[in-house]
Structure 1
Amino acid sequence: MDVRLLKAFVTVASLHNFTKAAEQLGYAQSTITSQIQLLEKELGVRLFDRLGKKVSLTPEGEHFLTDARQLLFSWEKAKGSLSHSNSPHGILTIGVNESVCSVKLPKLLEEYRRQFPEVEFHIKIGSTDELELWLNENQIDVAVLLDKLWNVPELTVKICEEEILGFFVSPNHPLIDVKHILPHDVSDQPMLLVSHSSCWKNIFQAVMEEANESYRIMLKTASISDLKQFAILGFGVAVLPLYAVRQELESGKLSILDWKGKKLELYVQVVHHRDKWLSPSLEAFLDICKNVNW
């Protein structure tokens, strides 16, 4: 069986769209269509139902998807076992959240490059949902993310470190001198939140709803740098992980509120697919994550 047919099938199954699958794999749509047709002919079953532009897996396709992913992981392992070098080399594809990429990842990769200069990094930035999808599709080798504790059967969490989620304001903000900040203290404050799907935005919203408190959003933006800048200028209260604002805290541009409400639990996690072959480059990355204070 042609591995390209398996890759085409898994990609279409994940994206539910032939055009998007073709774009991702770098093929013409007609090529993807032909590959799926060849695979269906070889297997003797119909893998997809095509209703207009909507594509969905048939029961046979659903069953085959698990096996197809396993075959691709096995193929990757087989290729790797024939490599003449056991030292880290080649390309390491890393999926990350935006905040992790801008703050934590550079130090990790600096140390990695110092030890293993022959490895090339490919970085894909995405939401937690996208990282999960990319791991299942084998689009990335490993994910580094900030989120609630992951408990996904197909994924293995290798490293997990708790992070603090805090409320940050300019040094002259009226809440600076208030001790034991609770949800009702910030309910009438203009809030600065990320606009994209974010675990810490969802955690904040859940805490406010549980306390039966409303909140006022002054600004939503996808840029963490913009959130910090607006907080520095006194526009409101920014909800961010502590590691993203350490420099501003040290310089006195921002201050952290004395939050005493429900604990806002977040974890930086390093994750790979349970069936992923741990290449020398991936094993080296996991080791560095364990040993570097990042």
Structure 2
Amino acid sequence: MSGGVNLAQLRALVAVAESGGFGAAAGELGISQSAVSHAVAALERAVGAPVVHRTGRVRPTPLGEQLLPHARAATASADAIAVISARHRGGPAGTVRLAAPATVCQGLLPGLLGEWRAAHPRVKVRIFEGEDDELAAWLATGTVDAAVLIDPDPAPAGSLQLAQDSMHALLRRDHPLAGQPVVDIRDLEDDAFLLSEGGCERHIREIYRRIGARFIPTHRIRDVGTLISMVHAGIGVSVMPALAHAMIPAGCVLIPLLPRVTRQLVLTGPADRPWHPAVTALVATAGGVPGG
């Protein structure tokens, strides 16, 4: 590439920025930490200024932040060319960076990853777990190659609806309603409500809108694990999607909730640029999965 910048240097910058350190970047790239350091240093000589802060937490400098979108685009294009070539030699290959919310990572992706490994052994999938509202931004900026988005409107062309996931009441097992086949949200009015401030908040508000009631949560919790632990401790109740079943301890239960509100889980590549060919292969392999 012109100006003395090459793909190895750009890959090193992206890996250091995304992993937060030279050692972790070396593991991601499969090279030595020294090689990563030399590649970043060579990039800095080529552009004439530091691209990462090396003191304290390793992070991009303002110049590094400006270079990152272009570095991601360049490395993604190079990977796509390699994958297209590999496809003609015997199927898709390469690494796909896939973003998904925590409930999808635990409740849906383990099965999909097994299917993908069997169907496309030359494709490696790296998972990026994030909040619902982060995923579309990561996809748009090129931080990831694909994402499982929640209720995208409109869904990008070529995307696949993986599942329809319904909202459930999360109760401690000794709660008076824990043995019921369904729970009406009105029956939880006397309980302290724990709200996860992730992407499910709008679905919970929709439930209360349908019954014409004000929604006033008692506690606001950012971390889903903390919320589950608090329900398990008897501090209150909550509402979570059915896919959260893999995260729920034995002392709690998920029960279908009325009014019924669902979310659509859609596997897609970016809307504004060509997809990594391996993403296309993964979408074609993943059949729609029934929701809860």
TM-score of the alignment, normalized to the shorter chain, above 0.5: yes
Identity %: 20
Q: 1:204, CA displacement in angstroms?
A: 3.8
Aligned-partner SS, 1:38: helix
Contact 2:159–2:283, Cα closer than 8 Å, also in 1 = yes
Deviations 1:92-139 (A, max 9, x none): 55443332133222443454455x263465452511366567656867
Q: Per the alignment, in what secondary structure is the counterpart of residue 199 of structure 1?
A: coil
* Alpha-carbon distance in 1 for matches of 2:11, 2:20: 13
Given that 1:192 and 1:227 are in contact with CA atoms closer than 8 Å, whether structure 2 keeps it comes out as: no
- Measure, in 1, the Cα distance between the counterparts of 2:54 and 2:125: 36
Match of 1:3 in 2: 7
2:159 is aligned to 158
Distance 1:124 1:178 in 2: 34
Pairing 1:285–2:282 present = yes
1:258 equivalent in structure 2: 258
Q: By how many angstroms is 1:164 displaced? A: 2.6
Supply the distance in 2 between the matched residues of 1:218 and 1:37 (Cα, whole angstroms).
44
Contact 2:83–2:94 (CA<8 Å) still a contact in 1? Answer: no
Structure 2 unpaired stretches of 5+? none
The answer on 1:70 being equivalent to 2:67 is: no
Aligned mates of 1:224, 1:156 — CA distance in 2: 37
Asked whether the equivalents of residues 104 and 243 of structure 2 are also in contact (C-alpha less than 8 Å), the reply is: no
Query: For residue 82 of structure 2, what is the aligned residue in structure 1?
Result: 79
Question: Contact 1:108–1:292 at 8 Å: present in 2 too?
Answer: no
Contact 1:176 1:257 in 2 (8 A): no
Cα contact 1:95–1:131 (8 A) shared by 2:
yes
Say whether 1:242 aligns with 2:242.
yes
CA RMSD of aligned residues (A): 5.0
CA distances 1:187-220 after superposition (whole Å, capped 9, x unpaired): 54133555xx631157547987996543334998
Question: Which residue in 2 is equivalent to 1:144?
Answer: 148
Greater Cα shift, 201-210 or 63-72: 201-210
Shift in Å, 1:230: 3.5
Q: Aligned residues, how many?
A: 268
Q: Give runs of aligned pairs for residues 92-107 of structure 1, distance below 5 A.
A: 93-107=97-111
Q: Do the aligned partners of 2:221 and 2:227 also contact (CA within 8 Å) in 1? A: no
Q: Is residue 73–residue 276 contact of structure 1 (8 Å, CA) maintained in 2?
A: no
Question: 1:283: Cα distance to partner?
Answer: 2.2
Q: Is 2:169 the partner of 1:172?
A: no
Secondary structure class of the residue paired with 2:280: helix
Native 8 Å contact 1:166 1:259 kept in 2: no
Letter in 1 for 2:14: V
Letter paired with 2:8: R
Query: Structure 2: how far apart are the matches of 1:108 and 1:258?
Result: 29
Separation in 2 of the partners of 1:49 and 1:140?
21
Q: Say if 2:95 and 2:126, in contact at 8 Å, map to a contact too.
A: no
In structure 1, stretches of 5+ residues that fail to align are: none
Q: 1:30 to 1:268 in 2, by over 3 A?
A: same
TM-score by length of structure 1 reads: 0.63
Give the AA of the match of 2:159: K
Residue 135 to residue 32, structure 1, CA distance change in 2 (3 Å): farther
Q: Which TM-score applies when normalising by structure 2?
A: 0.63
Distance 1:293 1:175, change over 3 A: closer
Q: Deviations over 1:158-187 (max 9, x none)?
A: 2346533233446832996999645xx645
1:32-47 to structure 2, matched below 5 A, reads: 34-43=38-47, 45-46=48-49
**How far has the Cα of 1:286 moved from its partner?**
0.5
Taking the aligned partners of 1:289 and 1:228, their CA distance within structure 2 comes to 35
Aligned residue number for residue 200 of structure 1: 200
The superposition leaves residues 40-85 of structure 1 with CA deviations (integer Å, 9 ceiling, x where unpaired) of 4334x54648696575324xx5654443322212211222233252
**1:269 and 2:273 equivalent?**
no
213 and 97 in structure 1: CA distance in 2 versus 1, 3 angstrom threshold: closer
